Structure 1
């Protein structure tokens, strides 16, 4: 049997409401795991938030978290860190525009400037009581840098001030100190330099020996564009943004219509 590497974004793709995976999608993925294929949930979420969703699929489901900065392989967990320089530049750029930046380890959220209630509400929409995460304010850059050895990625939210967000993006892009992405127009996702979901997939392809031609990737958002290019079989959800729909080789139904299950049932029949 030719083994496939099946990878799905979580929000807007695998999960139909940020919290749950449909019974039909779970059943199809479990059948493919039983057949010997590998499945990864790939997301910008921190590891413990991703695990809550992956565990709904199966305890054999693996995780690519923090936009590729963290991933599972053979019982181990690989980490790429943002580093002191990137953290310092991010704090300075966000502070200059009075925007909150939030940083992640596998199980802890750190911040210096208290986010607005709308930002907190956005973050909590992804949270789960089962996720086992801590949220800590560290107040100063110096205190934040005390956690430099564990922070893998971050995000800057600005749901109501796109101009400030754009200026922050320009400043950080000019620094060339990190990889920048976005899940939508209200945020900047901060990832270690030369890292994204696609680099994690490339590392997994090399380690497993599964080529791009047998890699299936599902996505819907802008931060999925890189990993779609890493797959020979790239699939945009029916609810995908236009750039993702254009980049993918195939399209399926939306995340609320069991789009993953629909495609996989037809592909492997």
Structure 2
């Protein structure tokens, strides 16, 4: 969603919504695949009157159009402890996404990192303004603040779906940390911006979730199209027969995708959908 379906104001532009609805009228199924949680993603689609299935937290959870959970893939607690240790060693702030919502152990750091994301997404060029926007946005979001993540690790009723680590002030830290995390095995290490790492179980990836959902609908991957902008979209772009990179996508994603569309600011998703239908891409 961020950097793809959403514009710089973090809303679905009318051009994208119109293209999705036009595709639906032709019998084309649309599905959101995002690193966000369901509670963060659903309201954005409701604002434009679109009811759709969702792959959330990079594939850790999949929901049908009625909000019913189809599948869940968690990170084992003993693995999570090792992940926490690696991140803490480097002084990297991180958040945990569970079945009960997103958890943070520092409101100040959360605001700072959301502000950095807003600057990355071109919502504003001013970090000071971004901090104000982030503070206002977080007031509307259900965030669980905890004194220690051990509370979650020790609770048998809490299940960890995704861990997201932030290092906007020292992005060079992320590559060696990603190597250490990969060495743990059975993890998918991706990113949704240059300043973060997204950590999931190896089976919780957008591509695998998309293929499973398409199979459930009886749709072969040769008839599936995907659009993305960052590393957490790579598995999905590789799995789909028709793949579009956003104009604002990372160089790696532009190499992976078969086609290129406009930026998220210029409603590139809507343009890609219209082109795919017009040219009958396959």
User: What TM-score does the superposition give when structure 1 sets the normalisation length?
Assistant: 0.86
| Change in CA separation of 1:218 and 1:163 when aligned onto 2, cut-off 3 Å | closer
Alignment map for 1:82-121 (pairs within 5 Å): 82-106=75-99, 108-112=101-105, 116=109, 118-121=112-115
Tell me if the contact between 2:17 and 2:50 (Cα under 8 Å) persists in the aligned partners: no
Map Cα deviations across residues 61-111 of structure 1 (whole Å, 9 max, x no partner): 221110111111364212211121221111111111121220112552223
Question: Structure 1: where are the runs of 5+ without partners?
Answer: 1-9
Q: Per-residue deviation at 1:266?
A: 2.8
State the superposition RMSD in angstroms: 2.5
Q: Structure 2 residue aligned with 1:241, among 250, 256, 274?
A: 250
Kindly provide the CA deviation profile for residues 138-191 of structure 1, in whole angstroms up to 9, marking residues without a partner as x. 414254341664321110111112343333222211111421111222111011
Deviates more, 1:185-194 or 1:225-234: 185-194
C-alpha distance in 1, partners of 2:139/2:33?
19
Structure 2 residue aligned with 1:45: 36
SS of equivalent to 2:219: coil
Cα distance in 2, alignment partners of residues 84 and 235 from structure 1: 36
C-alpha spacing 1:147/1:34, structure 2 compared with 1 (3 Å): farther
Q: Could you tell me which of 1, 19, 26 is aligned with 2:10?
A: 19
1:226 aligns with 2:235: yes
Aligned counterpart, 2:51: 60
Instruction: Work out the CA distance in 2 between the residues paired with 1:74 and 1:254.
Output: 27
The answer to whether the Cα contact below 8 Å between 1:86 and 1:178 also exists between their aligned partners in 2 is: no
Q: Which of 167, 173, 184 is residue 164 of structure 1 equivalent to? A: 173
1:189-268 aligned at under 5 Å gives the runs 189-268=198-277
Deviation at 1:53, TM superposition (A): 2.2
Listed as ranges, the gaps of 5+ residues in structure 2 are: 118-132
> C-alpha displacement at 1:197, in angstroms?
0.5
Between 60-69 and 258-267, report the one with greater CA deviation. 258-267
Shift of 1:128: 4.7
Q: Is the 8 A contact 1:54 1:62 kept in 2?
A: no
Question: SS in structure 2 opposite 1:104?
Answer: strand
| 1:36 shift after superposition | 2.3
Displacement of 1:113: 6.0
Contact 1:48 1:106 (8 Å CA) reproduced? no
The reply on whether 1:33 has 2:24 as its aligned counterpart is yes
How far apart in 2 are the matches of 1:29 and 1:74?
14
Name the TM-score, length of structure 2 as normaliser: 0.83
The residue aligned with 2:123 is none
